[in-house]
Amino acid sequence: MSIARAAKNRQLEKDKLQFYLSKKAGKALFDYKMIVDGERIAVGVSGGKDSLSLLKILEFRRHFVPIKYDLVAVHVNMWDTAKQARILEDYFKKNNYEYKIIKLRLENDEKNKNCFWCSWNRRKALFEEAASLGCKKIALGHHLDDITESILMNLFFNGEISAMVPKQELFKGAITLIRPFAYVEESLISRFSKVLKLPSWHCSCAHADTNKRELMKRIIGLLEKTCPEIRTNIYRSLTRVKKDYLLNVK
């Protein structure tokens, strides 16, 4: 295959994946009325494939959707190295993204280093920065797999039925979280990120591969072999609640 032909095929694959991602994101944006005209939205960019793909798709959609909105990429640099932060900053500059990188340094207390602690501090810094930038909406890169895994985690470990919702108002509406990739499978994002060669990296947390979410991912992966629609079924289950079959304990 010639170099020109190979380049053309890569471009076609890129355009196809971008179309599918944009279409699925667009449906979630419409279904949950995530964005209104004239808004300024902070995109939480962790440096992983999901958030960088979301930033790319939201920027892509700005050029043809009827509503107008502004984007600002916000990265909270916590455990990642300075080199990774520089790579991300170079990427923002190259693509003319408005951005803000926050260097968050906390006390090196090993006993506090867990997923909840890390997530809480990152989220707090993101909320505060979004408010200072005039953003009432924060877009996060959580996808369909994240949501279904959260549903099972809450069921198995907390004994409750709840989900990571596509749109969530916090602090009496002062901040609203939106998840435009709520209908998007992680596998599609992975392909898109690979084709575009996005500068993503894995979480540097020592617990990243051993936490409860990874366990849910493996369980869903096993179930998928006999039920290909397992993720969609889990997601839709919370919209198809049969109240007559729920326990009513007083």
Query: Does residue 152 form part of some domain?
Result: yes
34, 167 contact by CB (below 8 A): yes
Q: What is the CATH number of the domain that holds 195?
A: 3.40.50.620
User: What's the mean pLDDT in 166-177?
Assistant: 94
Report the sign of the C-alpha dihedral through residues 223, 229, 231, 234, in that order: negative
Query: Does residue 70 form part of some domain?
Result: yes
Grade residue 208 by pLDDT with cuts at 50, 70 and 90. low
Which residue, among 60, 81, 62, has the nearest Cα to 15 in the 3D structure? 60
Number of domains in the chain: 1
Query: Does residue 3 form part of some domain?
Result: no
Query: Does residue 188 form part of some domain?
Result: yes
Query: Does residue 1 form part of some domain?
Result: no
Q: Which amino acid belongs to residue 57?
A: I
- Tell me how far the alpha carbon of residue 200 is from its chain's centroid: 13
Domain with 87, as residue range(s), is 17-245
Q: How many CB atoms lie within 10 A of CB 208?
A: 13
Query: Does residue 6 form part of some domain?
Result: no
Report the sign of the C-alpha dihedral through residues 80, 86, 92, 98, in that order: positive
pLDDT (0 to 100) of residue 88: 92
**What are 97's two structure tokens?**
């993204």
If DSSP codes are grouped into helix, strand and coil, which group holds residue 75?
strand
Query: Does residue 112 form part of some domain?
Result: yes
Query: Does residue 7 form part of some domain?
Result: no
pLDDT for 112-143, tens place per residue? 556 677 778 889 999 999 999 999 999 999 99
